[in-house]
Structure 1
Amino acid sequence: MRLRYAGVCRACATGVPAGTTAVYEKDTRTVLCLTCAATLTHAAPADRLHEVDRTVDGIPAPPPKSPECRPPVYLDGVAGASARREHERRRQAREQRVRERHPKLGGLILALSDDPQSTTAWAAGAHGEERLGRRLDGLAGPEVRVLHDRRIPGTRANIDHLVVTRSGVYVVDAKRYRGRPQRRVEGGLLSPRTEKLLVGRRDCTRLVDGVLKQVELARQAVGDPSVALHGVLCFVEADWPLVGGDFTTRGVQVLWPKRLASRLTAAGPVSETHISTIWQRLGAAFPPA
């Protein structure tokens, strides 16, 4: 099939970009590039070839492995998936409540009224994650490994995007806020110095706190002090100036998708092999949400 999202071949660990024809193994939710699919199929014992009944462009996919033989699954994930599900859950719950309270007029009430802001905010958040996710998938390859919408075990929270590159690990929180992001420094000489993140007139300092917590969790999962960890707040539809505009507050980078892409593709000390290892560790520590 043609992949809707970028992946990584489970056999050779090579990045497989979105839109590429490859074998998608539904049972294990993993991807095989066509080269590995052909090699594994040709190496299969003759008495098992009759089990292979899937083909891609004429190349048979390998037979499914038994559960105990399957490799660990590190699914890239789907950007915005959990936010999209929550929006749909809230929308359906509201529709059910309205129809139960007003059996005859429920449909009319729903047609003439909008979902509350607490519901539409989930759709807006999902859209922002999806937009950024598509850009990150376009960068994916051996030197840029991406994980989307990862669950933080033991909590209801998730990490929007994790990206492993030559320059380290990026913990990215995508936001679809309007207004111009800016850093405000208060206090100093006679009072404690504090930094606030504003988007327009909205105080968004709590977003920085959230990213810092996620960075620390990712640092523990990586388990290698030599690998740099970068916290990022990426505003996909903010009012950025024509020149400059990105900044750092309390160690968290605040920027837009294009600027983030330039950071992710920068040179760094992390080898391609180490990138793959870190990507697997993060995939195991933070499963798909």
Structure 2
Amino acid sequence: MRLRYAGTCRVCGASLEARSDAIYERATKTIRCLGCAAPESAGDDRAAEATHGPGPSPAETALPGRQDAERSVAVDAGTAGASARREHQRRRAKREERIRARHPKLGGLILALSDDPQSTTAWHTGALGEERLGRRLDELASPTLRVLHDRRIPGSRANIDHLAVTPTGVYVIDAKRYVDKRPSLRVEGGILRPRVERLLVGGRDQTKLVDGVLKQVDLIRSLVDDDLPVTGVLCFFEADWPRVGGSFTIRGVDVLWPKRLYPRLTAGGPHESRVAEVHARLAEALPPA
């Protein structure tokens, strides 16, 4: 098989890069390099057939989630920022078509001297943030940290930027690029009035971003087992974070920056054996956008 993640040959200890060819041992969920595979794999296959006959062994059929774990190897993880990039290009093309149709002779000059409207550049900005975060998540990916990018929400035009399935649970990650603007938490009320939490970015109320992540979290919770934690994350790139502190939680959604996020995703936890199965389940339910 072609490896989706980097690994180590269990026989000789050689490092195997992602997308290199190797032998996957279903019984032990380990891999071997091609140089170590031939003699041992032939013996293993003959021994397995002599004991159990052809086909899957009882150990393979008895272990829950094994087929899902193998299927996850071939999962399409998606392309980070793909739908935002397509929308940006679509809007630019429509604007160019419109201007050239109205001004056949001067259309090229008008396009050269004018900028795209903010509603178009916002899609470019969003795509950059998703692409950058996606690249780093792919670098961190391993058998115990599996990621999905740009997943389509059924029945909606919206999408989920990134999903990370880890030993500590599933993280629903919304990437945001607000250059030199500071995210902050404003709390109103709490004693005589109901407590209200608001997300400010550069002094402007952006609580709608939290609402969007919470909807995505509810969707993911409906797709996984009840005992598996699902955490919403707003990850801000290039924001004006303070030197001390800065990250916070609002209505259960963690607001932070990439370097604060990565250690949480790579930490050990009690759900390591479920990572592959959950990853495959989410990939099947949420196709690439």
Which TM-score band applies after superposition, normalised by the shorter structure? Answer: 0.7 to 0.9
- Could you report, residue by residue, the CA deviation over 1:231-267 in whole angstroms, capped at 9, with x for unpaired residues? 0000011111112111100000000001100111122
- Determine if contact 1:21/1:34 at 8 Å carries over to the other structure: no
Distance 1:166 1:20 in 2: 21
1:149-177 deviations in Å (ceiling 9; x for gaps): 00001110000000000110000000001
Counterpart in 2 of 1:226? Answer: 227
Write the distance in 2 (CA, Å) between the matches of 1:248 and 1:161.
Answer: 19
In structure 1, give the amino acid aligned to 2:188. Answer: E
Deviations 1:136-157 (A, max 9, x none): 1111001100000000011100
Indicate the residue corresponding to 2:4 in structure 1. Answer: 7
| Alignment correspondent of 1:13 | none
Query: CA offsets, 1:195-235, max 9 Å, x none?
Result: 0000111211001011011001001111x111111100000
Q: Cα–Cα, structure 1 residues 18 and 195, in superposed 2: closer, same or farther, change >3 Å?
A: farther
**Residue 197 of structure 1 pairs with residue 195 of structure 2:** no
Distance 1:276 1:21 in 2: 18
Q: Which digits, 9 at most, give the CA deviation of each residue in 1:55-100, with x for residues without a partner?
A: xxxxxxxxxxxxxxxx686201110010000000000000000000
Please say which structure displays the higher CA radius of gyration: 2
CA gap of 1:116–1:39, structure 2 versus 1, over 3 A, is: farther
Does structure 1 conserve the Cα–Cα contact (< 8 Å) formed by 2:5 and 2:17?
A: no
Change (3 A) 1:109 1:127: same
Give the TM-score of the pair, scaled to structure 2: 0.77
Change (3 A) 1:85 1:20: same
Unaligned residue ranges in structure 1 (runs of 5+): 10-16, 24-32, 44-70
- 1:253 counterpart = 2:250: no
Aligned counterpart, 1:96: 97
Q: 1:209 to 1:155 in 2, by over 3 A?
A: same
CA distance in 2, matches of 1:18, 1:204: 44
Q: Distance in 2 between matches of 1:18 and 1:160?
A: 29
Q: Which amino acid aligns with 2:4?
A: G
1:209 pairs, out of 208, 211, 224, with 211
Q: Which runs of 4+ in 1 moved over 3 A?
A: 6-9, 17-21, 33-36
Q: What RMSD over aligned residues (CA atoms) do the two structures have, in Å?
A: 2.8
Structure 2: which 5+ runs fail to align?
Answer: 7-14, 22-30, 43-70
Counterpart for residue 185 of structure 2: 183
Structure having the higher helix fraction is 2
CA contact (8 A) 2:200 2:207 kept: yes
Kept in 1, the 8 Å contact 2:16–2:33? The answer is no
Q: Using structure 1 for the length normalisation, give the TM-score.
A: 0.77
Identity of aligned residues (%): 63
